[in-house]
Amino acid sequence: MLHHIELYVSNLERSDRFWSWLLAQLGYERYQRWTHGVSYRANDAYIVFVQAELRYMDVPYHRKRVGLNHLAFRAASREQVDALIEALHARGVTLLYAQPHPYAGGERHYAIYFEDPDRIKVEIVAPS
């Protein structure tokens, strides 16, 4: 079981605005807040966002480089995925794939893909 994930971000306040809403939709609650970070918890796992130091921000994140490609979260249902599409559009978030949910996980895979403010790819997947 995953214990936690820690992500360094270029602008903590911007990332917190983006992620706080999204994670609340997925059942996460704010766990901790400190000067340079914030975390959200669901069950026994949590996700941490930390403000990156200026000296490390000269090379922007890209999911095709060595390291993290994307984060995938479980939705409760296909209906929740569809509701998130509408909510993301209302927030000005562009989906990465306009066609009906790519079938990366087989014919019954139902998901959406988009990026956070630092271009970290996010997948929300419904149960199949």
Residue 78 belongs to what domain range? 69-127
Neighbours of 76 (CB within 10 A): 13
pTM of the model: 0.90
3-state secondary structure of 72: strand
**Is 60 among the domain residues?**
no
Q: Is residue 86 part of a domain?
A: yes
- Say yes or no: 84 and 48 in one domain: no
CATH of the domain at 36: 3.10.180.10
* Cα–Cα dist 111/125, whole Å: 4
Shared domain for 24 and 49, answered yes or no, is yes
Q: Is 25 helix (H, G, I), strand (E, B) or coil?
A: helix
Provide the pLDDT for residue 91: 96
Does 61 fall in a domain?
Answer: no
Give pLDDT, residue 101: 63
For the chain, 128 residues long, the average pLDDT of each consecutive 10-residue run is: 94 97 97 97 96 91 86 95 95 85 72 95 92
Show Cβ contacts of residue 51 under 8 Å, excluding neighbours closer than 6 positions.
Answer: 8, 9, 11, 12, 36, 37
